[in-house]
Amino acid sequence: MKTRLTKTGWLFLWGAVLLYLASLTSQSSLLILLVGIFAGCAATNLVTARRIGREVRIGAPMSECIPEGGRLLQSWRVTAPLKIAAGFLEVTQKDAVEPLFRIPQIPAGTVINTVPTRFFKQRGAYPHDHLRLTSSFPFGLFCCSIPLSLPGEILVVPAIYPAECPPASGFEPMLGGKFKGQRRSESGAEFAGIRPFRPGDPVKQIHWKSSSKGTGLMVKTFDEELSGRIGFILDCDPGSHSSEFDNTVRAAGSLMFAALDKGHHVELVCMIDPETVSITPPFADGEEILRGLARLQPKVGSMSKEHLEMAGSRLSNKTSICLVLTRLTPEIIEVLGGWIGKRRRVSVYAPENTHMEGLPRGVNVAWFGKDRITDRT
């Protein structure tokens, strides 16, 4: 438990020193009674605040997932098993300026539930094992803080914004796929027509209305439903400034969700680990993608030519490649040239104000900012 004097405490300490000096010059020892009141307040504050820090218990939800810029929704439980009222409680996360929540007063021996008020502006995992409970009750002269190690965490996922889906390739039949193929199938959402019954056709496929017209048994046919594949390669280089990587992660998340909404398969390779590909089927809720992006940390030098080539090789050959970059380098351009040479469909997303000169022909280019993707060409 750490105990320190607050600004008010320092002010009153100096005030007490001045009063003592004044008692020397004015020769009135009654001034020491005033010093005694200050000392009494400080002592009471010290004892009470330490007691509160020792005995107040915090119960936190095991996990909560919120988007960037959002507030927590689940309540935290604060138990004060004290005979006296407690108050001026502050629960702060490690290295955070804004407290998670503050409680002005808790009546003696009660339990209250409170929803944290802090806005989480940056994605990431905020474990509860680095919390700090602070109290300066009742006079604000001394502040006692005690580290809390609770189970659970708060996961702040990147804020997803509307984006246009990158071009996909490698379309394959997929029930519920949003792309219409040239062939007909026996199942689907869009009715295409009828054809004569062939042996082996299931009875439930028979279109009884047209069969009843005397031309023989007819069966229903539907438009073929296709689903494409998009492989995302996420640059994990920190970029030129602190927010650039977060912007990149946000853009990647938005693009992936746009692809999932379009009914494509999404493959993701993060350049921290270029050998691992995570595949998300169409129409998945994408929760795992967001959780993974929330925990992603930048790594200097992760975007080398060899790593990029390896990442490309891990993606299936039919997959369209979508490269989300923190910066564009000649090495990347060289690799892009190789992919284009192999007739792969490639899209590049780079931060705003990135010069896209020297890119091979056929590469789709777009720029992303903090909360939008612009000027796609």
Partner 1 sequence: MKSARNQFILLGIICQGLTWDGYAVAAASVGLWMLSLRLARIAFLIPQAFEPVALVGGCLAGYWLGTLPGQTSHFFIGHGITCLQALRAMRPLNSREKLFSLVAACVQLGVGCTVILDFRFVFVILAAVFLIPRSLVELQRESFLTSAPEKAPSPSPPLSWAAYASIFFTMIVVFVGFPRAAIGSPLQNRRNPGASEGSLVDSILDPTRSGLAQSGKTIFQIEGKNLGLLRSFALVDFDGTRWFPDTRASLKGLRFVPTNDLPKLEHRRVRVKEVAFLGRVLPTDGPVSFLTGKFFRRPLQNFHGIIECDSMWNTANNVYEFWLNPQPHTDLISQGLKSRLTQHPEVSPRLRAWLDARIDGTTSPIQQASKLEAYFRENFTYDIGAPVLKRLNTLEEFLFDQRRGHCERYASALALLLRMQGIPTRIVVGYLANSQSWFSGWHNIRFKDAHAWTEAFFPDVGWVQLDATPRSRDPSTGIEVRDFVDALDLAWFMNVVSFDGAMQRDFFSGAAQLAERSGAWISQHRTDSTTVLLAVLGAIVVGWTFVSSRNRVPRQESATRSDSDLRASHYYGQMLQILHRSGVSRMPSQTPRELQETIDAHYPAWAGNTAPLTKSFCETRYGGRSLSGSEEAVLRTALARLKETAATKPGRSGPGSPEVGALDKSC
Q: Which residues bind partner 1 (CB under 8 A)?
A: 8, 11, 15, 19-20, 22-24, 26-41, 43-44, 47-48, 57, 59, 61-62, 77, 79, 81-88, 102, 104-105, 109, 111, 117, 136-141
Q: Which lies closer to partner 1 via its Cβ, residue 34 or residue 356?
A: 34
Q: How far is the CB of 342 from partner 1 (least distance, A)?
A: 36
Residue burial 34-48, b: 16+ Cβ < 10 Å; e: rest: ebeebeebbeebbeb
Structure tokens at 125: 């995992």
DSSP 225-242: EEEEEEEEEE--S--SSH
| Residue whose CB is less far from partner 1, 22 or 356 | 22
Q: Any idea which residue has 């020491």 for tokens?
A: 32
Instruction: Output 105 or 187, the one with its CB closest to partner 1.
Output: 105
The 3-state DSSP class for residue 52 equals helix
The distance of closest approach from Cβ of residue 237 to partner 1 in the complex, given in angstroms and rounded to an integer, is 34
The least CB distance from residue 134 to partner 1, in Å, is 11
* C-beta atoms surrounding 14 within 10 Å: 10
- Please name which of 81, 73, 78 lies closest in space to residue 89, comparing C-alpha atoms: 78
Nearest distance from residue 148's CB to partner 1, in Å? Answer: 12
For 6-30, the DSSP string reads -HHHHHHHHHHHHHHHHHHHH--TT
CB of 352 to partner 1, least distance (A): 33
Report how far residue 85's alpha carbon sits from residue 241's, in angstroms, rounded to the nearest whole number: 47
Compare residues 287 and 375 and give the one whose CB is closer to partner 1: 287
Indicate the helix (H) or strand (E) that contains 306: helix 305-314
Distance in Å, CB of 106 to partner 1, minimum: 9
Task: Considering the complex, state which of residue 78 and residue 296 has its C-beta at the smaller distance from partner 1.
Answer: 78
Nearer Cβ to partner 1, position 85 or 356?
Answer: 85
> Residue 8 to residues 104, 261, 324: CA-CA distances in angstroms?
18, 56, 51
Min dist. Cβ of residue 37 to partner 1 (A): 5
Rg from Cα positions in the chain = 32
Nearest distance from C-beta of residue 92 to partner 1, angstroms: 13
SS3 assignment, position 311: helix
Half-sphere exposure of 247 (CA within 13 A, CB side): 21
149 by Cβ neighbours in 10 Å (0-12 / 13-18 / 19+) ranks as exposed
Q: Which residues are 320's β-sheet partners?
A: 230
Closest distance to partner 1 from the beta carbon of 340 (Å): 39
Cβ-based nearer residue to partner 1, 146 or 315: 146
**In this structure, what are the phi and psi dihedrals at residue 240, rounded to the nearest 5 degrees?**
-80, -25
